[in-house]
Structure 1
């Protein structure tokens, strides 16, 4: 897959994440499944964020691929717990279900893409090494800025609102 196509797929994945937060807002997540579900969203973002940072900083070798695989599996488990948490508490419409499909498959596709780009000399269990050459500042910006804008900020705003509702309901 070309780098441009991979980047477009990445942006579609982030857009799906942003739209998922719109669905959460429309179904009043802060008042239904609340802080617990919103916390799971933050965990999922932290997992994927760790994987993206790892990809940006180190060469893809077998040990790194194992770590990335573990992150993808953990993301899937937390995604299941997230949906399970929301299931009886708020209405998950078909559009949100389809967005979840994109959010679920994208990390797996990214892992396959990373594995397909491995060179024969990186197929060993060698130590984890920094990328050579390092990722360019433009790549860092192109990967992180859309992620923060489309998913990071909405996730934090969702959590802030859910927490405020939870605190207001305690009094």
Structure 2
């Protein structure tokens, strides 16, 4: 990405990698506290829900033209994610130790999506204003692929990062939880 677009550069080469690393660090914290035998599979389901709440808007911004519809969708799911994160921590602290390190990781997992959202909004300010009936443009609520697609190599790297740092670890957490639940139930 050209450095002439600092917002895009920050989104693609700073915010997104930090976000993926924080998600993996959170999984490491869960693993260290043996989530499968403490909070159990319920907390893993909450984590998978939060992954979807942020993953779907992120993929939308990577592949679709960002307009009022996408911005509004991102805002709604950001707030849903925040509510789910509160539910997650409220549940987790009743069942397992949530260390200061994990709490710090959670702060990244809450603020990095906000940084991403604000950078997307700032790149598409007229459509953000239009979402609220202000500004020079009419709000657009249609779905189109990005007119300026991201490089295939970048997209492949991001998807591989998501698979390796998020999907596989959290599926492994789910598998451990299912196994522990089966053992606890005598299956």
* Structures share fold, TM-score greater than 0.5: yes
Which residues of structure 2 form unaligned runs of 5+? 1-5, 131-137
User: 5+ unaligned residues in a row in structure 1: which ranges?
Assistant: none
Shift of 1:5: 2.9
Q: Larger Rg: 1 or 2?
A: 2
Q: How many residues align?
A: 171
Point out which structure has higher relative CO (alpha carbons under 8 A, 6+ apart).
Answer: 1
Distance in 2 (alpha carbons) for counterparts of 1:121 and 1:153: 35
2:76 is the alignment partner of 1:65: no
* Alpha-carbon spacing, 1:163–1:59, altered in 2? closer, same or farther (3 Å): same
| RMSD across aligned positions (CA) | 1.6
| 8 Å CA contact 2:57, 2:70 repeated in 1 | no
Quote the offset at 1:54 in angstroms: 0.8
TM-score, normalised to structure 1, is 0.92
Which residue is 2:134 aligned to? none
Q: What is the match of residue 111 of structure 1?
A: 117
Cα distance between partner residues in 2 of 1:72 and 1:121: 18
Q: 1:85 to 1:121 in 2, by over 3 A?
A: closer
Q: Using the TM superposition, give the Cα deviation of residue 139 of structure 1 relative to its aligned residue in structure 2, in angstroms.
A: 2.8
The answer as to whether partners of 2:127 and 2:140 remain within 8 angstroms in 1 is no
Query: As a proportion of its length, which structure holds more helix?
Result: 1
CA contact (8 A) 2:15 2:115 kept: no
